Amino acid sequence: MSQRVTSPEDVGRFYDQFTRFFEITWGDSIHVGYWPAGSQEGTIAEAQVRFTELMMSKLGVRAGEHLLDVGCGTGEPAVRLARTRSCQVTGVTISPKQAEAANQRAHDAGLSERVRFHRANAMALPFPDASFDVAWALESIFHMFDTGLALSELRRTLKPGGRALIADFIVAVPMSPEDEQFHREMMQTGPMHSVPDYQRLIREAGFELEETLDITANMMRTAVLTREALTSKREELRQAFGNELLGMLDATWAKASDLGQKHQGYAVFLVRKP
Ligand code: SAH
């Protein structure tokens, strides 16, 4: 069965339309939450902050370093990072609306001097070679139709010795081709990979892999709370999307989210450009 390829434009339209959905049901960032083993504490928004802070400490950005944020959303993680570390940030998103919202967030935080966001395609970055000291891609590469190209653009724009953190959904149990097609179209994903395949792609792109962290068990609660939010945030969602679209979301989100829970995991890769 031939699969339809998700284009960057598809992803841009998806986020132009649905960023509000994530703001209502999740919080300011568009990535999973993190719950320490055995804990069910906190809202999604609180668990997202735990996730961002964990990524910040894993990557260990130092004062004066310039970070590339690949797939920056509306800039919450980048602004949080820049508030606590005196670093510079350049972020890219394929969604024009997100780029605008992210720049507004940096402005509101008084950080627009050193935190800038652009609408650009991460598979064809508009930056010269060796522009950045450090980079992260928080839950963005799974949207890109050519993982290898996304990784080699990341490598190209990093300085030699530069570090990067990639946090992404991975395939735990493969889906049937029909389910994969449905999930791909609903979530606008590119091809997804098992941990060993992802590790191979990282090495093939010319990175040294320093650490792999499987945090599937720590993020699973995100889907449970998202389902609850579809009920508890009903009126806000209705106002934002109208009855018809909300009806469609009800039908398709549950199925896509079920597939995600059964088949996907989540991993964090720490890599270095030699
Ligand atoms: N990292 C952010 C947002 C994650 S949502 C956060 O954690 O809050 C996924 C992000 O990836 C969106 O901002 C989307 O625009 C971006 N993205 C997906 N494909 C892209 C591409 N080809 N080029 C640039 N950004 C892309």
Nearest-angstrom CA–CA distance, 27 and 49: 9
pLDDT of residue 3: 67
Residues in the chain: 274
Average pLDDT over residues 109-135: 98
- Average predicted confidence (pLDDT) for the chain: 95
pLDDT in tens, 57-81: 999 999 999 999 999 999 999 999 9
pLDDT of residue 55: 98
pLDDT of residue 29: 97
Average pLDDT over residues 158-166: 98
Nearest-angstrom CA–CA distance, 208 and 166: 13
Residues near ligand 1 (Cβ within 6 A): 8, 11, 15, 29-31, 71-73, 76-77, 92-95, 98, 121-123, 138-140, 143-144
Please name the residues in contact with 243: beta carbons below 8 A apart, sequence gap of 6 or more: none
Average pLDDT over residues 250-262: 88
Cβ atoms of 109 and 179 closer than 8 Å: no
Amino acid at 106: A
Query: Interior CA angle at 89 toward 152 and 121, to 5°?
Result: 40
- Please give the distance, rounded to the nearest whole angstrom, from the Cα atom of residue 96 to the centre of ligand 1: 11
Nearest-angstrom CA–CA distance, 190 and 6: 6
Smallest Cα–Cα separation from 119: which of 99, 139, 104? 99
Is the full-model pTM beyond 0.95? yes
pLDDT in tens, 193-245: 999 999 999 999 999 999 999 999 999 999 999 989 999 999 999 999 999 88
From 11, 70, 98, 154, mutation site for ligand 1 pocket: most ligand atoms within 8 A of C-beta: 11
